[in-house]
Structure 1
Amino acid sequence: MNPPPPDPAPPDLAADMAAILAHALADRAAGQGALPDLLGLEGADLARLAARFWRGPPLPDLDRPLAPPPPDQAAIALMIQWRGGSVSAESGWLAQILARRAMEGGHLWEDLGLPELCSKVGDGAIRRL
């Protein structure tokens, strides 16, 4: 007997995850690295994430090994997972992605490619701290 399919993702979460994947693909196209390293996820996890949230072309680099994360990145992921209290696959994926993208130099929402937050900055809704 096959397990039931996962519940559909809330529309905002699905849109945000698709934006994160699209941004990482753009970074990859710009020569910034392989997709697993850009998102901090093993290829198998990326494949599962894509099956749930991605409606674009097949993701590249799923067979590429993930480089071990630096200690700061691993600590951030652990803190996010611990504080979040959830053990779902989605929360684990998001913790790893947030931790990895937090290692970039810009604002986290920019490094994630979240368009709604990007548009709000122009309106002054988000201020630089």
Structure 2
Amino acid sequence: MSTALQLLNNREQFYARLPPIAMASNEEWLACMVASWCVGQGVLPDYLGLEPEQFSQLKQAYFQDQPLPEQAPSGSQLDFSRMLEKEDLVNLLRRYSRADTLEMDWVIAIIVAGCLGSDHLWQDLGLWSRSQLSAMLQYNFPELAAKNTQDMKWKKFLYKQLCEAEGLYLCRAPSCNVCIDYPKCYGSEE
């Protein structure tokens, strides 16, 4: 069996051991990300990118019967200090968030940590498909997600929102439809 297939099977086995969860909610998406993280998939760093206290609260709320490591099993050591946009991303997501809850802080911190990865955001987060990421963003940030009218890749979309908020328009094409990089921003991620 290939290593990739073995990781997928391990992730699904871990996920199956979790208590039943509500579908289409943060609990489901967090469970998918944790299952992937525990088998070394995605790029989320130690504590899933959360502060240690937040990680403890997350474990207590949803995973108290599961032995979760604190260090990233993948050995991912992302350096948050190199991410100049961290605070801007947090503020963007907070501005559009549905509710100001402890859970929302976890979701925002994990998404921002995933933005440090070099792959598609859903893969960097350890979600199982782009449609899961889309559903999670629509659920938590409905107004922001609704702005993505042309289905731009989510990480590019978030950074584009930051640029536009600063009045920066780096693309030289008059519209996305005529840009030679169109497939990089709007192509399939599967």
CA distance, structure 2, for counterparts of residue 101 and residue 58 of structure 1: 19
State which structure, 1 or 2, has the greater radius of gyration over its C-alpha atoms. 2
The match for 1:53 among 36, 46, 62 is 62
Could you tell me which residue of structure 1 aligns to residue 22 of structure 2?
10
Is 2:46–2:70's contact at 8 Å kept on the other side of the alignment?
A: yes
Amino acid at match of 1:128: S
The two structures have a TM-score, normalised by structure 1, of 0.64
How far 1:40 sits from its partner (Å)? 2.3
CA distance, structure 1, for counterparts of residue 98 and residue 84 of structure 2: 21
Could you tell me which residue of structure 1 aligns to residue 84 of structure 2?
71
Q: 5 Å matches for 1:1-129?
A: 10-12=22-24, 13-27=26-40, 34-36=45-47, 39-54=48-63, 55-61=65-71, 69=81, 70-117=83-130, 127-128=187-188
In the TM superposition, structure 1's runs of 4+ consecutive aligned residues that sit over 4 Å from their partners are: none
How far 1:85 sits from its partner (Å)? 4.8
Amino acid at match of 1:58: L
Amino acid at match of 2:69: L
The two structures have a TM-score, normalised by structure 2, of 0.46
Is 2:122–2:129's contact at 8 Å kept on the other side of the alignment?
A: no
Amino acid at match of 1:41: L
CA distance, structure 1, for counterparts of residue 80 and residue 123 of structure 2: 24
Structure 2 unaligned spans of 5+ = 1-20, 72-78, 133-152, 154-186
Greater RCO, 1 or 2 (C-alpha within 8 Å, sep 6+) = 1
Structure 1 unaligned spans of 5+ = 1-8, 62-66, 120-125
Q: Percent identity of the aligned residues?
A: 17
Please give the root-mean-square deviation of Cα atoms over the aligned residues, in Å. 3.3
Q: 1:96 to 1:34 in 2, by over 3 A?
A: closer
How far 1:68 sits from its partner (Å)? 5.2
Q: 1:84 to 1:33 in 2, by over 3 A?
A: closer
Structure 1 residues 65-110: Cα deviation after superposition (integer angstroms, max 9, x where no partner): xx75522122111210111152100111101110110121111111
Amino acid at match of 1:108: L
Is 2:49–2:110's contact at 8 Å kept on the other side of the alignment?
A: yes
